[in-house]
Structure 1
Amino acid sequence: MRRKRRAVGFAVAAALTVAAAVTVTQTAMADPAAEIDWKPCKDADGDVECGTIEVPVDYAKPDGKKIKIGLAKRAATNPEARVGSLMVDPGGPGGSGVDMVKGSKIGSKQLQEKFDFIGFDPRGINTSTQIKCDEEQLAAARSVGVPTTKKKFAKLAKANKKLADGCRKLTGPLFDHADNLHTVEDIESARKALGDEKLNFLGYSYGTLMGQQYAEKYPKNIRSMVLDGNMDHSIESPWEFASTETAAVERNFNSFAKWCDETKDCALYGEDTTKVYGELRDAARAGKLKDPENGDPIDFYAFSERASLINESPAWPEVAKDLKVLRDGKGQLKLDGKAKAEPVEYVFQSMFCSDWDVSIKNFGEWRDITDRLAEEYPNTQWSSYVGTLTSCIGDPVKTTNPQAPLEIDGAPPLVMIGNLNDYATVYEWSEVAAEQSGATLITYEGYGHTIYGRGVECVDKPVESYLIDLEVPDSGLSCESQETPGGGDSGRRSGAPGTGPWAGR
């Protein structure tokens, strides 16, 4: 356990000048259901109950059309010692708090004794009223891939708009009311329906934005809040988003290459890992890299996806083996580079594009971003999470919750957590969010995306002391990495980068 954070290798995003704060619209609250009709959940791990509450589609029209918000409850194991409810969201768009609570116990035995764990499904997702999209239109938009020509850019813009229009037709007005400001109101409605005087909230990844903006709107309704792997909603431009994401991947690649060059068990030991990677990357860009098993071409973005587990140090040996297979042109690739099957439920475009004004106006702007990434981050040149920006090309969804610095006034002490080598919600974002909110930041010096609940005592113990007893962790608390390169599964909460808790492409 350390008390002083290590320096980060490049400037913190908090130093950026924000041109103007955007005023968050204050919306009217509708009274939620007075009581939740809890019933046993299907396919739950243990005694878990499920229920729903009814909320307005549009909180500005509280008497208008209603939707359902899904909840799950794993009751405190010691009712006499119960502190209250702890609402959890594992991150999204697409993350299900209901499935998280149904599928596993959270935290220590002591924490389980003290809290009812409440899984929360954001609007549009899973057991909440879903955003539905046409599967063929979704597949068509995804099949365009990352636009590398003006023609493909125009094709993607058209496909994105067609997809959004199809989602609107299938879903109705919910599609255009899925921004985080509405989610904040849903959390408040759930708090009231649960009968809790104050909210206890544990949010991961995109769920941290839910917590941050709840604290802005309802600061005095919070008892405790832990946000792990924070979004920075004050990012001003597509370039800043793309740059901060790619910088983290470049930093992790340099650590991987150093390890490989110094470790005899690495498949590329003694061969200059950076050079091997660079030659494969350039071959992929030139259309000359092929899968040795079937001869299928592997383009730059597919190659980057396959190599993205450089961001998880336990996977480094497998990454090196795959790079050697590609270099030698023989053998079997181990890491999955194929796109996942597409669900009919699809909330990403509606939620992300309404929360982030990161529209790319034309192919020239997009090409400038990708060219600059290649120049400033010469090894990796890309992060899969930069691909999230492509969902908003063509302006298919109106941005109703644009970026602005956090302004939280009157909230109790909040706790944030950031992994130094996080590749998704990068560490600098957590630093900015903590500085803007006044939250206490716990730094984990390891790899992976989010960390609470993965058995790191230096993180878990102060977090749980805060949740149970409201004991605020020491300022500047930093926890040493517990990952060992090649040491087995990293315990990731999500899949490979680009298919994780809030990636849409």
Structure 2
Amino acid sequence: MLARRVIAAGATTALALIGPAAVTEAAEPDPDLGRFYQQRIGWEPCKPTEGQTGELLDSVRDMECGTLSVPIDYADPRKGAIALAVSRFKTQASGKDRKGSVVFNFGGPGESGVDGLAAFRDEAAQIAKHYDLVSFDPRGVARSSPVHCGGEDKTKQLKGEGPSPPDTGAAAVDEAKRIAAECHDKTGPLLDHVGTINASRDMDVLRQALGDHKLNYLGISYGTRLGAVYASQFPNKTGRMVLDAVDTLQASAKQDVLAQTKGLQQALDAFFVACAQQNCELGTSPQEVRASFDQAVVKLADGRTVTAADSEQFSGADLQSAVRTALYSQASWPVLSSGIAALLQESDPSVLISLNGAMDETAAGNSDEALLAVNCADDPERPADPVKEFDTVRSQLAAESPYFGPNAAGRAVACAGWPAGTDYIRRINHPGAPKILVVGGKGDPATPYVWAEDTAKRLGSGVLLTYEGEGHGAYTASQCVRTKADAFFATGALPKEGTSCPAEVPAE
């Protein structure tokens, strides 16, 4: 998924501890952390959660779950500990064929790794021939002491993904400050320690608990930021690492939302072209498809809704959510065109509702709240005048995309009211880790290709593999990319620098 992001006197002080001195690698763990590095995970069968059905339910029943204890504050382990939820599929390999574990992070920040792993088992079947497949809910996420900020609806509204996003800079900044205060009040001391710096250190404790000398890792979207931070903090503990759909290490919140809005609009334009080429229900030319899409937008404009069979109301914000979800995977484009056609011809939103529902089946709670907390902890910049920043960004976003842009300006000021985060991630540059496979997609709507190019350079050891097609994340979209990544995990063999994989159009 998209790479997603107190107000007490002590908050600034606590975050200040997450600086260069707190994140340098030690060849041996700090003695005060010994009890964490000496633990082993007690694995038990996972318990399915409500809403998990079919193949996903079968997958959960085959998965093992456990917990990992980590300190709230690595600078002072005496402040207490939290338990992280972890999961694994154990490999059937033995002897020389067994190579340890591969740890996964599927994005966010804020997505549940436990749920994500259950849904990812088939895609990782080749990796599972040699490795245990392992993931975890990072600190502050889902089952791992979740961050709470007064409800997902509030943070979605601020990002422009709800029915009533802030329409002025003053309203956006006031709401951001209210959410920040509520995050602090409802989450408590952990909020000062939820950023990627600490999640990376948790991952090193996990590596040791799994019995691996080095961390083998596959990160997607935000998971690439987490992987890059680990490679910088622990270069000598970094094993075979693949970073796919690469999140930025450098962009400000303003640059981030502008780049992603531009990417979404480019993906929407590509959808219009692809739909027309396939003589879809919406038209036989890109112009006709666009006109049909615009009719659907108008149908739900100004607060209008349509009623689903179960009496659920479907709004313009719901339509935009379904469109955004579909643009992440080209395999969903036929579903999107069918859904828009049904909405126009029969006022039936059920197909579009199914697109939004597909994201909910594996969800475990607080992804938007955790996204906000992690991104604010990772971002050292705060606009000097956030109200002016909102107004400026809003006009720029509208120019990039009249559909996605106007409501998204709140993302540029979402950290108003939070103390400045660490600048460590911005300073990552040639950390000395071994070769890392960095995968960038030319048509990625959420993480622009230039971010993959930049991260490969900043890691120093990054080998860039280019996917020429559409969608967010190439490992699942491209057999070519998947084959090369699987070969790297199996043998250590990397593609040559400059290798690209052609676009693959999903079969209908």
Aligned pairs for 1:145-294 within 5 A:
146=160, 147-150=165-168, 153-235=169-251, 237-269=252-284, 272-273=287-288, 276=291, 280=295, 283=298, 290-291=304-305
Q: Tell me the residue number matched to 1:3.
A: none
How far is 1:395 from its partner? 2.4
Aligned pairs for 1:340-489 within 5 A:
343=365, 346-357=369-380, 359=382, 361-377=385-401, 380=403, 382=405, 388-389=411-412, 391-392=414-415, 394-396=416-418, 398-401=420-423, 404-438=426-460, 439-453=462-476, 456-484=478-506, 487-488=507-508
Contact 2:45 2:61 in 1 (8 A): no
Instruction: Give the distance between the partners of 1:143 and 1:254, measured in 2 at CA.
Output: 25
Instruction: Give the distance between the partners of 1:275 and 1:118, measured in 2 at CA.
Output: 43
Amino acid at match of 1:52: T
Q: Percent identity?
A: 24
The partner residue of 1:26 within 13, 22, 29 is: 22
The alignment partner of 2:103 has SS state of strand
Q: TM-score, normalised by structure 2?
A: 0.77
Contact 1:358 1:389 in 2 (8 A): no
Contact 1:54 1:66 in 2 (8 A): yes
The alignment partner of 2:426 has SS state of coil
The alignment partner of 1:69 has SS state of strand
Q: 1:24 to 1:233 in 2, by over 3 A?
A: farther
Q: TM-score, normalised by structure 1?
A: 0.78
The reply on whether 1:61 has 2:76 as its aligned counterpart is: yes
Q: What whole-Å deviation, never above 9, does each CA across 1:378-427 have from its counterpart, x for those lacking one?
A: 6x4539877644542x3235423565153133211100112222212232
Instruction: Give the distance between the partners of 2:346 and 2:225, measured in 1 at CA.
Output: 45
Q: What whole-Å deviation, never above 9, does each CA across 1:255-292 have from its counterpart, x for those lacking one?
A: 2223344443342225823762685598589x558445
Q: Tell me the residue number matched to 2:39.
A: 35
Aligned residues: 454
Q: Which shows bigger deviation, 276-285 or 240-249? A: 276-285
Instruction: Give the distance between the partners of 1:389 and 1:214, measured in 2 at CA.
Output: 26
Instruction: Give the distance between the partners of 1:261 and 1:220, measured in 2 at CA.
Output: 51
The alignment partner of 1:272 has SS state of helix
Amino acid at match of 2:330: S
How far is 1:100 from its partner? 3.5
The partner residue of 2:330 within 313, 317, 321 is: 313
Pairwise CA RMSD: 3.6
Q: Tell me the residue number matched to 1:6.
A: none
Instruction: Give the distance between the partners of 2:293 and 2:127, measured in 1 at CA.
Output: 48
Instruction: Give the distance between the partners of 1:140 and 1:373, measured in 2 at CA.
Output: 21
The alignment partner of 2:134 has SS state of strand
Contact 1:184 1:213 in 2 (8 A): yes
Instruction: Give the distance between the partners of 2:101 and 2:356, measured in 1 at CA.
Output: 40
How far is 1:156 from its partner? 4.1
Instruction: Give the distance between the partners of 1:110 and 1:324, measured in 2 at CA.
Output: 38
How far is 1:84 from its partner? 1.6
Instruction: Give the distance between the partners of 1:96 and 1:306, measured in 2 at CA.
Output: 20
Q: Tell me the residue number matched to 2:132.
A: 116
Q: 1:338 to 1:362 in 2, by over 3 A?
A: farther
How far is 1:371 from its partner? 1.3
How far is 1:450 from its partner? 1.3
Q: What whole-Å deviation, never above 9, does each CA across 1:53-105 have from its counterpart, x for those lacking one?
A: 32221111133222222322322212212112211122222222233345553
Q: 1:304 to 1:356 in 2, by over 3 A?
A: same
Instruction: Give the distance between the partners of 1:85 and 1:54, measured in 2 at CA.
Output: 19
Contact 2:105 2:135 in 1 (8 A): yes
The alignment partner of 1:35 has SS state of coil
Instruction: Give the distance between the partners of 1:223 and 1:420, measured in 2 at CA.
Output: 27
Q: Tell me the residue number matched to 1:12.
A: none
The reply on whether 1:105 has 2:131 as its aligned counterpart is: no
Q: Tell me the residue number matched to 2:352.
A: 335
Instruction: Give the distance between the partners of 1:464 and 1:395, measured in 2 at CA.
Output: 43
Amino acid at match of 1:167: C
Contact 2:444 2:472 in 1 (8 A): yes
Instruction: Give the distance between the partners of 1:196 and 1:118, measured in 2 at CA.
Output: 12
The alignment partner of 1:418 has SS state of strand
The alignment partner of 2:504 has SS state of coil
Aligned pairs for 1:483-502 within 5 A:
483-484=505-506, 487-488=507-508
Q: Tell me the residue number matched to 2:100.
A: 84
Instruction: Give the distance between the partners of 1:226 and 1:353, measured in 2 at CA.
Output: 25
How far is 1:460 from its partner? 1.9
Q: 1:319 to 1:367 in 2, by over 3 A?
A: farther
Instruction: Give the distance between the partners of 2:65 and 2:238, measured in 1 at CA.
Output: 24
How far is 1:317 from its partner? 4.1
Q: 1:368 to 1:296 in 2, by over 3 A?
A: farther
Q: What whole-Å deviation, never above 9, does each CA across 1:348-380 have from its counterpart, x for those lacking one?
A: 2211111124645433321221212222446x4
